[in-house]
Amino acid sequence: MANGWSIIIGLVVIVAMCLAAWFFSPKGENQVLWRSSLILAIVSCYLMWAITFLAQLHPLIEPRRSDIRKEYIHH
């Protein structure tokens, strides 16, 4: 499942989790604090995962093997 759809599927899951945190946060004087904390934590975890996933999906630097003899390297 390492393709571009993983980001979209993850986003849908995160939106559902944020909606659940919004509607099921405990009632009371700290409701805004609960909502803000849960949604901020969920979104922060998603962003960290998405950045790491995309960095591995499309790396900026191509790895090179050092154990190949020079006559077999095609440039």
Give CA–CA dist 41/25, Å, rounded.
14
Give CA–CA dist 10/15, Å, rounded.
9
Using the structure block, give the residue that is written with the tokens 């945190």.
21
Structurally, the chain folds into a number of domains equal to: 1
What band does 30 get if pLDDT is binned at 50, 70 and 90?
Answer: very high
Answer whether residue 73 is part of any domain. no
Percent of the chain clearing pLDDT 90 (strictly above):
59
Using the structure block, give the residue that is written with the tokens 């960095």.
55
Give CA–CA dist 33/46, Å, rounded.
20
Print the domain residue range for 42.
5-59
pTM above 0.85, yes or no: no
Answer whether residue 66 is part of any domain. no
Residue 13 has which token pair? 């899951």
Give CA–CA dist 46/50, Å, rounded.
6
Question: Is 49's pLDDT higher than 90?
Answer: yes
Give the model's pLDDT for residue 7: 87
Answer whether residue 68 is part of any domain. no
